[in-house]
Amino acid sequence: MNILVLNCGSSSIKYQLFDMRDKSVLAKGLVHRVGMAGSKIDHKKGDKGDKVTVSSEILDHKDGIKKVLDLLVSKENGVIKSLNEIKAVGHRVVHGGEKFAGSVLIDQEVLDAVKECVNFAPLHNPPNLKGIEAVLELMPNVKQAGVFDTAFHQTMPSKAFLYALPYMFYEKEKIRRYGFHGTSHRFVSKRASEMLKIPYERSKIITCHLGNGCSIAAVQGGVSVDTSMGHTPLEGLVMGTRCGDIDPAIILHIMKKHELTPQELDNLLNKHSGVQGISGESNDLRDLEEGWPNRSERANLALDVYAYRIRKYIGAYIAVMNGCDALAFTAGVGENSPIIRELACKNLDFLGIKIDMDLNNKTWRGVEGDISTPDAKVRTLVVGTNEELVIAEDTFDLIEGRLDPKTGKPKRK
């Protein structure tokens, strides 16, 4: 039983084909520059196979997905004989609003609801929708599932998700905190409880997803009780180019003083802020860490602000859950940057977080592990995230009837 996972961005399509018998990856790849000059597909057979690059004009998402399907069955680079071997397609969908607290099988009602959420995620939901609609046309008989970035955080209580604005904005316009990276926080918190051999239903875990976007979540008893991203993925931690938490009055001030349009301000906060904005050098932590701490004052400052914000949230989430069993670092930076883990965990020994510098420095590049000192009350873990696998598993469970197709809740036996 093979499941294709698609993650359609505005100009890219990430894909992975899973064999659900053993959850192995048959093929994976990335379509670059959809609808632009210089488009190409990087394709790999298996998880670790050699990369082949196919240059080809890719007009739009439908064309990109068609070319991926052609590659999957091609003589030279294919891994299946016919498209009939793909039983279902699982899509990453960024925003599900309050409508989706779990993964669902896609029908017209779901499509309409995802369209309603375009307002909340104008950059992300439209390409997700294009991917679903393309598969509907290219493989009309194949079932499709939507797995939402926001769904895992729908368990947040109102005291965590409400902004202190006039209540009308929540009631009528659904302006509230939603949280993102839910698929990753769900996978990583579960994995952390397995690594520590503690029951997920009774665990208190803080997950730090530090990648291109960054968010942190408090996961208590297997459900998200708070997370740092809000109405959009701009709130919370400092990111590569996004500012995270700032005083909202600054926005009005800058807008007025520099006569910026809403679009220009959006660009400033999302694309020119974060560690890029502070350092003036790069949005990539690998660059800023090169030569650390002797690179430059501004690079050090960027790393300090980035790590300090993480530390503040860790303290806050320990208070939210009245304790913590494990702190789990994941994604590009979380899995690969001993420097950020060291800075973020500094001065937290009072709360029981102590990391072993030797273990910390050894744990990266796909290595998973516990990097705490033996006496640390809270275990600090490095966990590899795997959002694509979660999407494949949910899709599989939906089509096999283990999850309710409308709510994604496990069906009672």
In whole angstroms, the minimum distance from the beta carbon of 381 to ligand AMP comes to: 16
**Residue 55 corresponds to which tokens in the numbers above?**
């240059």
Write the binding mask 160 to 199 for ligand AMP: x where contact by CB under 6 A, - elsewhere. Answer: ----------------------------------------
Number of residues that bind ligand AMP (CB under 6 A): 12
In whole angstroms, the minimum distance from the beta carbon of 73 to ligand AMP comes to: 28
Task: Clarify whether 149 is annotated catalytic.
Answer: yes
CA neighbours closer than 13 Å in the CB half-sphere of residue 207: 36
| Cβ atoms within 10 Å of 172's Cβ, excluding its own | 9
Q: DSSP assignment, residue 225?
A: E
Is residue 277 near ligand AMP by the rule CB under 6 A?
Answer: no
| Of residues 279 and 337, the one with the C-beta less far from ligand AMP | 337
Q: Which of 41, 285, 345, 391 binds ligand AMP (CB under 6 A)?
A: 285
Nearest C-alpha neighbor of 366 from the set 328, 335, 324: 335
In whole angstroms, the minimum distance from the beta carbon of 349 to ligand AMP comes to: 24
In whole angstroms, the minimum distance from the beta carbon of 284 to ligand AMP comes to: 4
Is residue 284 near ligand AMP by the rule CB under 6 A?
Answer: yes
Q: What value, to the nearest 5°, has the Cα angle with vertex 117 and ends 115 and 122?
A: 90
How far is Cα 209 from Cα 189, in angstroms, rounded to an integer? 11
Alpha carbon 62 to its chain's center = 24
Write the binding mask 341 to 380 for ligand AMP: x where contact by CB under 6 A, - elsewhere. Answer: ----------------------------------------
Please give the residue whose beta carbon sits closest to ligand AMP in the complex.
332
Is residue 240 near ligand AMP by the rule CB under 6 A?
Answer: yes
Is residue 286 near ligand AMP by the rule CB under 6 A?
Answer: yes
Subset of 323-342 contacting ligand AMP (CB under 6 A): 331-333, 336-337
Give strand pairing partners of 2.
Answer: 19, 86
Q: Residue 166 contacts by C-beta under 8 Å, 6 or more apart in sequence?
A: none
In whole angstroms, the minimum distance from the beta carbon of 333 to ligand AMP comes to: 4
| Of residues 256 and 365, the one with the C-beta less far from ligand AMP | 365
Is residue 39 near ligand AMP by the rule CB under 6 A?
Answer: no
How far is Cα 77 from Cα 134, in angstroms, rounded to an integer? 22
Instruction: Select the span of 284-292, 316-324, 370-378, 405-413 touching ligand AMP (CB under 6 A).
Output: 284-292
Radius of gyration of the chain measured on its C-alpha atoms: 21
Q: What value, to the nearest 5°, has the Cα angle with vertex 256 and ends 254 and 260?
A: 75
**Residue 312 corresponds to which tokens in the numbers above?**
């503040």
In whole angstroms, the minimum distance from the beta carbon of 331 to ligand AMP comes to: 4
SS3 70: helix
Judge whether 303 and 289 are in contact, CB under 8 Å: yes
Q: Identify the active-site residue in 149, 226, 370, 394.
A: 149
Judge whether 33 and 41 are in contact, CB under 8 Å: no
Q: Which of 212, 258, 291, 377 binds ligand AMP (CB under 6 A)?
A: 212
Nearest C-alpha neighbor of 121 from the set 221, 40, 250, 8: 8
Positions marked active-site? 149
Residues that bind ligand AMP (CB under 6 A): 211-212, 240, 284-286, 289, 331-333, 336-337
